Amino acid sequence: MRIDRTFDFRSEITPGTDPDKYSKTLLQYHKKLWSKPLPTGGHFSLSDTVPGKYLFHSSPSGEFSLSSDSIAHSYIKVKRMQSVIGLLSDERKETIRRALNTIGGYTVFPSNRINQKPTINGARGLNARIFDRFDLTLECIQRHYLGVESPLSGDLIRYADFFALFRDFQGYVEFFLLQDLVVQDFSAVKYFLPFDDSFPAKPLPESMDVYNAYIDRTIEFVEARGLRMIQGHALIGDYEAVLDSSETATANEG
């Protein structure tokens, strides 16, 4: 399967429904992109045939149920944003939606609830200091690997076995092709809006100028990550070709 970084997942689902749940192409893209070698060793093989599971992995490293999550939010439908969103033209809104509903704007997180508490997807949306902003979520993930407190500390610790698969923050960023949202040495996140090391009490952009800065940087990240995915997918193909040729050679020797 070839990854089309410009494919709008809304185009194949009922209008108003969620691509995370209903887009078959998004599911297949996730399966293809993230089924690859882990930095800690082994292969993160994902199955979409386990009943009741979006994607599932089982190996000596553990069992992981995963779901899709949008990491690029326009906030176009958020009520408290309507004083700003109302100033956008319909054409501008559609341009934003079209850009953010491509593969660069999606990732996977564990979907199983632990002790009846929210999943990572739910927690980062419910937390008033994160409000689904992925730059702030990634800051929390970096702090998790460093053992530093963040607004999502308790939620990330519940899924420590998942994050352990990627060894450290650099391993996580490289695995999920998030390099365009961090500085070159992986020591800091490149935020969509200014960040002073304390999580903002109001993380949403509250003026048109701030919103435009936020959404332009978000779209830039999504598009850059989409390009990186194409390159990463080519490398995955090379890896699988090597495995196939190795297995063929072994069979011929037998």
Residue-wise pLDDT tens digits, 194-234:
998 899 999 999 999 999 999 999 999 999 999 999 986 65
The span from the CA of 162 to the CA of 138, in Å, is 15
H/E element, 57: strand 55-59
* Confidence (pLDDT) at 233: 62
* Confidence (pLDDT) at 77: 95
Question: Quick check: is 4 in a domain?
Answer: no
Question: Quick check: is 244 in a domain?
Answer: yes
8 Å CB contact between 84 and 208: yes
Question: Quick check: is 87 in a domain?
Answer: yes
Question: Quick check: is 2 in a domain?
Answer: no
The span from the CA of 64 to the CA of 248, in Å, is 30
Question: Quick check: is 1 in a domain?
Answer: no
Q: Of 31, 41, 32, whose CA–CA distance to 166 is shortest?
A: 41
Question: Quick check: is 143 in a domain?
Answer: yes
Question: Quick check: is 104 in a domain?
Answer: yes
Q: Tell me the whole-structure pTM to 2 decimals.
A: 0.90
Domain enclosing residue 232, as ranges: 9-253
Number of domains in the chain: 1
Q: What is the pLDDT of residues 9-20, one digit of tens each?
A: 999 999 999 999
Q: Which two tokens stand for residue 76?
A: 């176009």
Give the residue-averaged pLDDT of 13-36.
97
**SS3 call for 177:** coil
